[in-house]
Amino acid sequence: MKPRNRDAVLILLASVLWGTSFPGSKLAVGSVDPLFLTFARITLGALLGVGVLAAMRRFDLRVFREPLVWVLGAINAVGFDLQNEGILLTTATKTALLVNVNVVIIPALMVVFFREAMTRMKVAGILIGTFGVVVIATKLDPASLAGGQFAGDLLVFVAGVVWAFYVVGAKRMVDRGGDYVALTAGILSTTALLAAIPLFFVGWPLPTSAGGWLGIAYLGLVPTFTPLMLYVASMRTISPTISGILILLEVVVAAILSFVFLQDALSAYTVAGGAMILLGAFVVTRGEVSIPEPAAGGPSVPQEIGGPGFESKPRP
């Protein structure tokens, strides 16, 4: 399989796993404090990542010397806190939709930070995919976004904006040629440490039910480390502009699972919008120029993290 096709498959698999996290989070916040959910979920994901690195004999503390790992950890912690507070007030399906507002923001950030070309085909695909999100979110009736869920909608919308900067920052690190497994584990570790800070001010509200702990276990072990690792790995050859469209498959997954487990309505608008999202993904991919895979990546973490492997490379 060609590297670009391989990495596209990685993104789609990550989007399926992430799609399960929205109904999972909605179920969990019923019995788990949103801020504690962020900390517990990310801590489990970080421990899983560190365990994988240790098993591969690639664990190296020098990853924490990289300032951008801490910056990305802070952005990630803020994004998850906003999402978990917001999903408590709104539906899982709308959370998945509004969080993915970054599909519109990422291309603009890529133009600013990476001088990425904005072709007509890419613009058309982004517009098609974005319109699909609008169809699912509003059912072509803007009034559907008003009402008691507005505060929750606003929080998850801001989370989507925050994560657009996270994606661009992660792309910057991947372009430096680092070990994507170590990078993922490092980001999750710093996220967990920073997510603990608010809990010292609000207390440590531990879940009181077995269901709450079960939800934390699922969210921490399934849709956290693995999809993030797959997503970061895909950035070797695929631009965040394209991955932002492909990752919208998580909206479809979240909508279907929310209908099954939470009785969220799965209407013709959801089906039509999902089809537009997939069409937009195809169109925007056709307008993207291939990104050569970094040559510096290798199995040795010490060589890549915090060392010469993180020297910026000139873009073609």
Q: Where are the domains of the chain?
A: 3-310
Contact yes or no for 91/262 (Cβ under 8 A): yes
More confident residue, 214 or 108: 214
% residues pLDDT > 70 (the chain): 86
Quote the distance between the C-alpha of residue 118 and its chain's center.
23
Average pLDDT over residues 134-141: 76
Q: What is the mean pLDDT of the chain?
A: 83
Give the pLDDT band of residue 299 (cuts 50, 70, 90).
Answer: very low
Give pLDDT, residue 310: 36
Q: Which amino acid is at 78?
A: V
H-helix or E-strand spanning residue 223: none
Tell me what the mean pLDDT of segment 263-280 comes to: 79
Quick one: which H or E segment has residue 268?
helix 268-286
The region of weakest confidence among 9-18, 58-67, 192-201, 243-252 is 243-252
Q: Does the pLDDT at position 302 exceed 80?
A: no
Q: What per-residue confidence (pLDDT) applies to 124?
A: 85
Q: How many residues are present in the chain? A: 316
What pLDDT shows up at residue 300?
A: 37
Q: What's the pLDDT tens digit per position in 147-182?
A: 556 778 889 989 999 999 998 898 888 888 768 889
**What are the structure tokens assigned to 1, written together?**
């399989």
Q: What is the largest CA-CA distance in the chain?
A: 55
Q: Is the pLDDT of residue 309 over 90?
A: no
Q: Please, are residues 156 and 82 in contact by the beta-carbon 8 Å criterion?
A: yes
Higher confidence at residue 301 or residue 103? Answer: 103
Closest CA to 242 of 21, 34, 12, 36: 12
Distance, in Å, from the CA atom of 168 to the CA atom of 178, rounded to the nearest integer, reads: 15
Compute CA 231 distance to the chain's CA centroid, rounded to the nearest angstrom.
8
Position 188 pLDDT exceeds 90: yes
Query: At residue 90, does pLDDT exceed 80?
Result: yes
- Rounded to the nearest 5 degrees, what angle is found at the Cα of 153, between the Cα atoms of 267 and 92? 50
H helices of 88-179, in order, are 92-99, 102-114, 120-138, 150-175
Within 13 Å and on the Cβ side, how many CA atoms surround 31? 13
Mean pLDDT on 59-65:
87
Band the pLDDT of 146: cuts 50, 70, 90: low
pTM above 0.85, yes or no: no
How many Cβ atoms from other residues are within 10 Å of residue 199's Cβ? Answer: 16
Choice between 211 and 303, residue whose per-residue pLDDT is larger: 211
